Structure 1
Amino acid sequence: MSERETWATRAGFILAAVGSAVGLGNIWQFPFKTAQFGGSSFLLVYLVAVLGIGLPAILAEFVIGRKAKLNTIDAFEELGYRNWRIVGVLGLATGFWILSYYSVVGGWVLRYIAGSVTGAYFADPAAYFGQISMGVDALALHAVFMALVIGIVALGIEDGIEKATKLMVPSIIVILIALAVWAFTLPGASEGYTYFLSPNFGALAANFGEIVPFAVGQAFFSLSLGMGAMITYASYIDGDESLFGDSLTIVVLNTFVGVLAGLVVLPLLFAQGIDPNTSGAGAVFVSVATAFAELPAGNALGFFFFVVVLIAALSSAISLLEVVVSWAVDNTSYSRPVIATGLGGVIFALGIPSAWDTAWLTWFDTLAYQLLLPTSVLGILIFVGWVYGRPALAELLKGSTANEGLGLTWLWTARTVVIAGVLGTLLLGFQTLFVDGAIVPPF
């Protein structure tokens, strides 16, 4: 087993964790899931889920990772609970599953960056997406994106992931703020703000059962929970930093970026008279491309927007690959570059169906949201809350000025309210999977 790496700085850990969270979940899916499920109604449930479920859950993953200082599978054995390794296996498998189709979307982003420069999608954005989203071209760009991810992870924690995310995360925030300011100046943008930010409790009550599983799933996806990423990243912490402070910073920054993305995309669509209530994997690409095609300087605006999406996609993708690479580095004598290349190749192969047909990508995504993520998070919460218990509380308080009362509040909230919320979300998701038939592959 090779010597385990660590983060060079606390800021490096925070930015890497934020980078893992701030990805395509925020910019590709969040604005359009918000539009699809009632705008402000979805936003409200999402914010409650992030603070009420996401924050306690990310603390649970950090406690496991920092205490064990091992990958997401072996961490449970290191803590003395070998039989609970299955929870780590599920987290690793979930991240593996998600990255396989996430990389396909990353390939689309590469094509749209080039298409913005040439104006290739301006004439017919819907037809353009249909041409590039499936088949040989999509497969080739899927390979290019995975190669970029493999290259960064192969360089290691300090020289690869930490340095990359220190550049990526501030870049995402700066460019999104600039785009949000620009979107504010567009005629008709106010309707987008109203739809996004004005509370609509009637719509929430009428569609509660439909909104909740997707909003909670979005919280898990956008915070990289249930994928092994936060356990893995916390395992590289060298020192007694405040997990309370770090987790709150990560959650706030991640939510800020998601809301920023909404403040760019939704006003942009309303300003152009485009119906945002669309669904499917290509919604953000077709709708935003349509808007850029109609705007002055659309080439430049499209280029900068899709560069932001690419940076966000890479920052999350490297964390998902690191989950499986970390396990292999801890358990084999192979070098990190060899491991990253081999496992990255397997993930690429799993993503071939999603690259060949978007129906497969939608199926992969639905299973991740409705089944894999909530089940994985539920296992982590049960372990930390009811099995590990008091040692988890002690680990949480290390390096923190918080008193034991606050720690006990977290522990009992995780044991009861948070577990109940995740379990309820999982049960609601079963409607989509088994009653609506989403569990059936699109053969």
Structure 2
Amino acid sequence: MVERETWATRVGFLVAAIGSAVGLGNLWQFPFKTAANGGAAFVVFYLIAVTLIGFPALLAEFVVGRRTHRNVVDSFAELGGPAWRVVGAMGMVTGFWILSYYDVVGGWVLRYILGSATGAYFDDPGAYLSAVASGPEAIAAQAVFLAIAVGIVAMGIEDGIEKATKVMVPSIVVLMLALGAWALTLGGAADGLAYFLSPDVGSLVENAGTVIPDAVGQAFFTLSLGMGIMVTYASYVGEDDSLPVDGGVIVVSNTLIGVLAGVVVFPILFAEGIGPADSGPTALFEAMAAAFATLPAGRLLGVVFFGVVALAALSSAISLLEVAVSYATDNTDASRSTLALGAGAILFVLGLPSALDTGDPGGFSAWFVWFDAIAYNLLLPLSVLLVVVFVGWVLGRDAVAELRAGSTASGGLAMVWLWTVRLVVLLGIVATLALGFESLFLAEDATFFAPF
């Protein structure tokens, strides 16, 4: 087997982990999930979910990865026995499932960079989205996006992922800050911020049953939980690193960038009179494109905005791909480049339904929505649930010892974390999974049966 790599620096690990979290989940999913769930009401539930469920669950994944320094599947087998391999396998499958349609969206983003530079979508943003969202052009763009991700992963942890994300993540932050500062100068920006950041208590209570699954799923998605990523990335971490500190940096950075994405998107939409609640998943594409088509320097702004989104999408895609490549590298003698290429080929084929199906004109394909709904409502919460059960009730005090290694956390605080994982996080995920299951299979407009 090929010798296992490590991060060159602690900063490299943090930047890579933040880059994984700060992907389309923040710049695409967060604004449209917020719009679809009542604006600021969703933001409140999301922040609660990140604090009470996401952060403790993130530390649980860190503990498993660093304790073994193995890939996501073999980590659970080493700590709990062969039967627990299913937990790691579930995470790897979930990540592969998500990346299979995520890479299609990545292809669309690349097309929108070109469309911004040429002004191709200015006359009819809806028609442009229909043209690039499916068919041969979508497949070609998907292939280009995957090729870039495969090339970075093939170069390894230090020379590929670490070096790439050290460029990507600071670029994302700087460009988003500049876009946010500019968006706040637009007329209507105050209304956009009020919609995004001023919660309606009545709406919070009335819509809790439908908003909670999306909020918790968004917390998992944006923190890269339940996909094997954080287990894999932590497996390259040294024993002297403080997992609570690193986890806190990642959670805070990810949350701030998610909020910053809303500060950019909603003022622009309101300034142009575009209803965010009606734009849904197309907010990033059709709605933002419509805004850039009418704004001064719209071509430049479009290139910068979609360029930021492309960097974020790639930083997440390489982390999702690394989960499978890490497993294969640990268990075969094949080269990393060969394994990355093979995984990319499989993902390309799995993404074809989302790229081929036309669905509603100007919207997202029926199969794309189906893949996304299953990921949010079933695979992600189920995968995190298995990790939480394992860390809380199987690993137990060994998890506490691992969490304290390299940190100044007291035994009391570490035990509070363990019982939070055992009870608060566990119950929160079970409730979320139950609500998601109802939405997928039992609701009047059950999502699971929509494409059939």
Classify the TM-score, shorter chain: over 0.9
* 8 A Cα contact 1:281 1:362, kept in partner: no
Structure 2 match to 1:420: 427
Tell me by how many angstroms 1:441 deviates: 6.2
The residue that corresponds to 1:125 in the other structure is 125
Match among 377, 390, 397 for residue 404 of structure 2? 397
Equivalent position amino acid for 1:426 in 2: L
Per the alignment, residue 380 of structure 1 pairs with: 387
Query: How much has 1:172 moved relative to structure 2?
Result: 0.5
Rounded Cα–Cα distance in structure 2 between residues aligned with 1:68 and 1:203: 45
Q: Does 1:440 align with 2:449?
A: yes
Shift of 1:432: 1.3
Q: Tell me the equivalent position of 2:325.
A: 325
Secondary structure of residue in 2 paired with 1:277: helix
Q: Which residue of 2 aligns with 1:248?
A: 248
CA RMSD of aligned residues (A): 0.9
1:175–1:308 contact (8 Å) kept in structure 2: yes
Aligned to 2:144: 144
Distance 1:62 1:115 in 2: 40
* Partner Cα separation in structure 1 for residue 240 and residue 69 of structure 2: 13
Which residue is equivalent to 1:69? 69
Q: Alpha-carbon deviation of 1:391?
A: 0.3
State the alpha-carbon separation in 1 of the partners of residues 298 and 143 from structure 2: 28
Query: Shift in Å at residue 280 of structure 1?
Result: 4.8
**Residue aligned with 2:448, SS:** coil
Partner of 2:294: 294
Match of 1:350 in 2: 350
Unaligned runs of 5+ in 2: 358-364
Q: Which amino acid aligns with 2:100?
A: S
Kept after mapping to 2: 8 A contact 1:280/1:362: no
In the TM superposition, what is the alpha-carbon distance from 1:283 to its structure 2 partner? 2.9
**Is the 8 Å Cα contact of residues 33 and 280 (structure 2) preserved in structure 1?**
no
Between stretches 374-383 and 356-365, larger displacement belongs to 356-365
Post-superposition Cα deviations, 1:253-291, rounded to whole Å, max 9, x if no partner, equal 000110000000001100111000035543320010011
Match of 1:368 in 2: 375
Residue 96 (structure 2) aligns with: 96
- The answer to whether the aligner puts 1:44 opposite 2:53 as a matched pair is no
Q: Residue type matched to 1:376 in 2?
A: S
- Secondary structure (helix, strand or coil) at the match of 1:79 reads helix
Opposite residue 419 of structure 1, the aligned amino acid is L
> How far did residue 188 of structure 1 move?
1.1
Tell me the equivalent position of 1:8: 8
Which residue number in structure 1 is paired with residue 362 of structure 2?
none
Q: Percent identity?
A: 62
| Number of aligned residue pairs | 443
In the TM superposition, residue 431 of structure 1 has moved relative to its aligned partner by 1.7
TM value normalised by structure 1:
0.99
- How many angstroms does 1:240 deviate by? 1.7
Looking at structure 1, the residues matched to 272 and 80 of structure 2 have their Cα atoms a distance apart, in angstroms, of 58
**Alignment of structure 1 residues 200-219 onto 2, 5 Å:** 200-219=200-219
Partner residue, 2:220 = 220
Name 1:193's counterpart in structure 2.
193
Q: Is the 8 A contact 2:96 2:321 kept in 1?
A: yes
Amino acid across the alignment from 1:424? A
Q: TM-score, normalised by structure 2?
A: 0.97
Q: Distance in 2 between matches of 1:237 and 1:252?
A: 20
| C-alpha distance in 1 between matches for 2:350 and 2:412 | 46
Report the CA distance between 1:2 and its aligned residue: 1.3
Q: Could you tell me which runs of 5 or more consecutive residues in structure 1 were left unpaired when the two chains were aligned.
A: none
